[in-house]
Amino acid sequence: MADTTTTDAARPGTAGRSRTARPPRVNAGSVATHLALSLGALVMVFPFLWQLLTAVKSLAEVSRVPPTFLPDDWNWSSFEEVFSALPFREMLTNSVLATAGRTAGQLVFCSLAAYAFARLRFRGRDVLFGLFLSVLMVPSSLLVLPQYDIVQQFGLLNSTPALFLPGMFSAFGTFLLRQAFLALPRELEEAARIDGASTFRIFWSIMLPLIRPALAALAVITAMTAWNDLLWPLIVNTDPQTMPISAGLTSLEGQYETNYPVMMAGSLIASLPMLLVYVFLQRHFVQSVAFSGSKG
């Protein structure tokens, strides 16, 4: 009986020792990964921070050597000068229309072409798709002259449609969506055909909703490309009223002097819409990257 009592009395001490928390081990690899990611985040954020700090400085302070990091006086008038120096609202509207037109066009035409190359069976499909992808090997600068000639012949110079019509077709977008279609099981199509669904009904009602992450990724990529496009708008538009904001900001650069605070303020305002779009759609963007590489 005494032995039993002694054993029971010793149990609380043993349980207490077993519950003693061990200090967490420091994983050197995890620490290095977090430091690298933090450094990468700092590198990505620093240009926007420098852009903001430059926008709130005076022109004399921006021209100071050596440059200063924080402004002496926070001057927010540059954001007001942007709207007086440029037809900013018209340019912003042109950018929205050009981005929306190119994005919508690529989603429509690329999805149709991708579905045909991925799910329809016809002779020479793979060869034709290889030739289609060969367009990616042609530098985009070589396509500027024929595209300009086509736009000029249709009388679309200095117009909003000229900003997005040549960019409504994309070999990369077709490839991205084709990979997404290939990852879907063929049993879905077979079951739909047994139920009497047409090819277009299968594409529109069954297959297309299943690749929404890839569609969102293509929309983000296309929208960012169209919004930041500079060369093509400068070629086809010379009227400030029809220019997008990316091309309009170049007019702030003078021959002898450039008002960098106003230019940085305009650039910051112009970059905000795409930042918001990416923040809200980044989950779909990451999903599509993994989704598109799941099957070749």
Which of the residue ranges 50-64, 91-105, 260-274 has the most confident prediction, judged by mean pLDDT?
91-105
Does 262 score more than 70 pLDDT?
Answer: yes
- Does residue 4 belong to any structural domain of this protein? no
Max mean pLDDT range (48-52, 106-110, 244-248, 266-270) = 106-110
Whether pTM exceeds 0.85: no
Long-range own/partner contacts, residues 65-72 (CB < 8 A, 24 or more apart): none
145 belongs to a structural domain: yes
Average pLDDT over residues 248-255: 79
Q: Does residue 245 register a pLDDT over 70?
A: yes
The answer to whether residue 166 is domain-embedded is yes
Total domains in the fold of the chain: 1
5 domain residue, yes or no: no
> Is position 52 within any domain?
no
pLDDT for 287 equals 62
46 inside domain? no
Taking residues 220-247, report their average pLDDT. 90
Per-residue pLDDT, 128:
92
Q: Is residue 85 predicted with pLDDT exceeding 80?
A: yes
Mean pLDDT for 124-139 is 90
Domain that holds residue 130: 93-292
- Tens of pLDDT, residue by residue over 1-26, are 445 555 554 455 555 555 565 666 66
CATH of residue 152's domain is 1.10.3720.10
Does the residue 247 lie in any domain? yes
> pLDDT tens, 148-157?
999 999 999 9
pLDDT at 247 over 70: yes
Residue 185 placed within a domain: yes
Residue of 107, 109, 89, 95 whose CA lies nearest to 160: 95
pLDDT over 80 (residue 202): yes
Phi-psi region of 73 (alpha: psi -120 to 50; beta: other; left: phi over 0): beta
| Per-residue pLDDT, 83 | 86
70 pLDDT higher than 70: yes
pLDDT given at position 60: 84
